[in-house]
Amino acid sequence: MKIHEYQAKAILARYGVTTPRGEVAFSKEEALQAAQRLKSNICVVKAQIHAGGRGKGGGVKLARSAEEAADIAGQILGMKLVTPQTGPAGRIVKRLLIEEGLDIKRELYLGLLVDRASGRVVFMASAAGGMEIEEVAKKDPSAILRETIHPAVGLEPYQARKIAFGLGLPLEVVNYATPFLEALYRAFTDTDASLLEINPCVLTGDGKLVALDAKMTFDDNALFRHKELRELRDLDEEDPLEVEASKYSLNYIKLDGNVGCMVNGAGLAMATMD
């Protein structure tokens, strides 16, 4: 199950991860009020859909006043946002995140995911933040740092420091980075997430690490333990047929074509489809 950026940031904030001040808005009027409350010289208006690459599609824009933020909100709300991850069908924008602007000195990439090969959680990091990590991995695999985490001990302080130094962070920031990275790991494991991605994580002019973006995906099989997470589900962002199937506890994945496969196991499903 995927959630929106503003929902992921709210979860991370509870674990002590620094995030920008921001509010969700569902209308132009709410966007105006949110921007006024922020009292920031620059506001960022961000479309909230379950897909990356929103900036390239015109879904992330800067505003220098509350009135300009409201005007931009009126343009983005209701638009069909097409990004490399949505495909040509795109997604209709129904909610926005109105957020304070920051003094960005550097952009980094941080990610946690389950590595199927090792059967463990892997912490990935790169100094090439703000870029699609797939492109970074393709062009320069050595630019991505990887730390495999033992499930019995969790992310150890030396691993966090190794990541911080590997990213080339200033010495005075490394001590602050260690609890920041440890908090990300706790958020990942406590919520039974399958993916946690901060792209970018920024180093601000005053030497702070801030999660400027946040993407979280949870293991559906563990949601029975997290009633509060189930309530974050946005059915508008899911395929209607998959939503209907979930009502009957069916695992249904919509694909292209006109032939369907009914099977009783993931391996058999892939073999049958092939």
> Which positions are annotated as active-site residues?
109, 197
Cα–Cα distance for residue pair 124/196, rounded to 1 Å: 10
Cα–Cα distance for residue pair 196/216, rounded to 1 Å: 5
Distances (CA, A) of 77 to 52, 88, 182: 17, 18, 36
